[in-house]
Amino acid sequence: MSIMPVIAAFLLSLLLLAWVSRQLSLQIQLLFHLITRNGDLTIVLLFLLLLPGIVIHEGAHWIAAYVLGLKPSKFRVWPKKQRQHIGLGSVNVRGGQLWQESIVGMAPLIVGSILLALIGEYIFDARQFSLAIGEQRWLASIYTLQQALLKPDGILWGYLLFAIGNAMMPSASDREPIRPLFFTVALILGLYLLFGLPIAPFARLFYGITPILHNITNAFIFTLALDVIILAIIYLIIKFIAPQPAA
């Protein structure tokens, strides 16, 4: 199994999922606001819709911080205004080293990706779906998606996939320590390659994680399909119920 296509597919599907997740969140909020005409109630409804994913998101922060010895406290799972945005949950963590804070910040994405991969592999056969997409067999992909959701408890598992996939992305505060760590690691790797040091250990590492990345990518593609369908439905509902401008 080649390394680079799997890594490229993983990164592309992750970026697409992050973008679609953001658009979906905005459209869901718009729909709820059109229905309720109440900003606070809109946020509460969004929170309740994503509740399983939010619990997993904050739980991943807490567990990672606890394992790394950062003594987490004040686990909150409820909407709260935080300056320019609304936080759906939070965990207070004692400051640590850059690598520790980066792991804590990325923990929801790591845990969420693993859970999506497990659901995709053992419940929905996401591998067959992504294979059909990759080969542009559109009717086969639609049939595979339909059969997956028609399985016993398929709708429930689909909802969990939706909630986890759209709540696992790192927030702005989660991403804050990651950028300097990324540049530090990139600099070290650049110097490592510049001095011609052996790359065989890295090749073995990538080959070892390739099947895992492949399963996660399949789950991302399956989740993307669900998100796009839901986004299209919500968009049509908004178009139908939104007030029309006066002629």
Q: Please tell me the total count of domains within the chain.
A: 1
pLDDT (tens digit, 9 = 90+) per residue, 162-199? 999 999 998 877 778 777 766 676 677 677 667 676 66
List the one residue out of 108, 130, 150 whose CA is nearest residue 215: 130
Residue 186: predicted pLDDT:
67
Q: How far apart are CA 89 and CA 79, in angstroms?
A: 6
Q: Is 51 part of any domain?
A: no
Q: Is 211 part of any domain?
A: yes
Using pLDDT thresholds of 50, 70 and 90, give the confidence band for residue 2: low
pTM: 0.87
- Number of residues that make up the chain: 247
Stronger pLDDT, 38 or 208, i.e. the higher one: 38
pLDDT (tens digit, 9 = 90+) per residue, 74-131? 788 888 766 666 778 888 887 778 788 888 889 999 999 999 999 999 999 899 999 9
The mean per-residue pLDDT over the stretch 132-156 comes to 91
Q: Is 80 part of any domain?
A: no
Q: How far apart are CA 101 and CA 93, in angstroms?
A: 9
Looking at the DSSP bridge assignments, the partners of residue 154 are none
Maximal CA-CA distance, the chain? 70
Residue 247 has pLDDT above 60, yes or no: no
List the one residue out of 66, 70, 62, 176 whose CA is nearest residue 108: 62
Phi/psi for 41 (5° steps) reads: -65, -35
Using pLDDT thresholds of 50, 70 and 90, give the confidence band for residue 245: low
Q: Is 70 part of any domain?
A: no
Q: How far apart are CA 70 and CA 226, in angstroms?
A: 37
Residue 172: predicted pLDDT:
79
Quote the domain boundaries for residue 180. Answer: 3-29+98-241
pLDDT (tens digit, 9 = 90+) per residue, 196-232? 766 666 667 667 788 889 999 999 999 999 999 999 9
Per-residue tokens: 120: 């995709």
Using pLDDT thresholds of 50, 70 and 90, give the confidence band for residue 134: confident
Residue 76: predicted pLDDT:
82
Q: Is 194 part of any domain?
A: yes
Q: Is 57 part of any domain?
A: no
Q: Is 67 part of any domain?
A: no
Q: Is 170 part of any domain?
A: yes
